[in-house]
Amino acid sequence: MQAQRRSSVLQAVRSRLGTFRVCRRAGAAIVAVLAAAATIAAAAPPARAQQVLAVVNGIPITSYDVEQRTKLAQTSNRRPSRKEVIDDLIDDRVKLIEAKRFGIEVPNTEVESSFAGMASRMGMKPAQLTQALSSRGVHADTLKLRIRADLAWGHLVRGRYQATLQVGEGDIRAMLGPPADDGKGEVGHVYTLRPILFIVPQGAAPAVFEARRREADALRSRFNGCEAGVRFARELRDVAVRDPIIRNSASLPGPLRTMLNSLEIGKLTAPDTTAQGIELFALCGKDVTRAETPRKQEARQEIFAKRFDTQSKRYLERVRRGAMIEYK
């Protein structure tokens, strides 16, 4: 009976699917949730017979699901009650069902990319994060299900309520006050950068990276101006000089912004190790702008996050009221 009920409900959901274009980026509030979940180290015990504790539109939530989500919460120093965990899992199921109703299904590649991003911010590779999760009794799929639900919900809320979530200049002025008219107010910069990569073959030993780093430092000491410096860099062995890129200081992390502000035009940044080799950036232009400053960007993100959170909660409450939720 349960299987028949689940099948009929899923058929009803599919029949109601609409088409809706959504923004590809998750909202700032979602990013905050994912960052909090990424303080982790955990993964799964062997599967066994599980008790069904709740059913959401025919989809069961088992004691194993609750056990896993509880352990996941504990890795971020939370101690939720059993009912709080079940309600969190119900929210995830409801989010995924509602997103699917509007034709939104997050591909595995997007989930894996978000998981890899978490690992990178923790100084790990995805496999290392999976192992760290396993060591705490949490299966990686437990975190990935949470990621999938948050991404799908973020796409849905941003898509359906795009107009009400937009942050205008008037909103920013209301928060920060009018700009100073004495010319001494905060300014931003627009940087023109030329990436220069000292290529290192995949799987090379650390000594190879170190040798290439010494070559990059040697170029840095001789680099004096983008035009001549780029020509010289192109003549070096296994060095790739890429097309110019433009970056606004408002979109850069604070330490990088400070470093570029102090760097002379025509000089190179300090070398950085990447998966492809040793990379530097030539600063070839630095223009002042008042259109988008770091302070404005922070205000924009804060206003958006508050609006997103308010709209998300209202929407979720409404969807939950219309869902078939049964506690066992």
> Same domain for 248 and 113?
no
The predicted pLDDT at position 21 comes to 33
Q: Any residues with CB less than 8 A from the CB of 246 and at least 6 apart, and which?
A: 190, 191, 192, 193
Task: Please check whether residue 66 lies inside any domain of the structure.
Answer: yes
> pLDDT at position 298, please?
79
Residue 42, pLDDT score: 32
A 10 A CB-CB count for 142 gives 23
Q: Measured between alpha carbons, how far is 120 from 135 in angstroms, rounded to an integer? A: 19
Residues 147 and 240 in one domain: no
Domain identity same for 23 and 121: yes
Evaluate whether residue 55 is within a structural domain: yes
- pLDDT, averaged per 10 consecutive residues of the chain (328 residues), comes to 39 35 35 34 46 93 94 89 94 96 94 92 89 93 96 95 86 74 65 93 90 94 92 94 87 79 90 90 87 75 90 95 91
Return the pLDDT at 284. Answer: 94
pLDDT in tens, 211-256: 999 999 999 999 989 999 999 999 999 999 999 999 887 777 777 8
* Number of domains within the chain: 2
Residue 213: CATH number of its domain? 3.10.50.40
Helix ranges restricted to H, the chain: 2-15, 28-37, 63-74, 82-101, 108-121, 126-135, 140-160, 162-165, 169-176, 206-222, 226-234, 254-262, 294-322
Q: What is the pTM of this model?
A: 0.60
> What domain range is 86 assigned to?
2-166+306-327
Judge whether 176 lies within some domain.
no
User: Does 160 share its domain with 13?
Assistant: yes
Residues 229 and 157 in one domain: no
Q: Which residues pair with 142 in a beta bridge?
A: none
* pLDDT attached to residue 76: 85
Quick: pLDDT tens for 6-55: 344 334 333 333 333 333 333 333 333 333 333 333 333 444 568 999 99
pLDDT (0 to 100) of residue 225: 92
DSSP, collapsed to helix, strand or coil, labels residue 59 as strand
Gyration radius (Cα) of the chain, Å: 25
Report yes or no on 42 lying in a domain.
yes
Provide the pLDDT for residue 36: 34
Helices 294-322 and 140-160, interaxial angle, to 10°? 100
Quick one: 24 and 151 in the same domain? Answer: yes
Residues 151 and 278 in one domain: no
* CATH value at residue 62: 1.10.4030.10
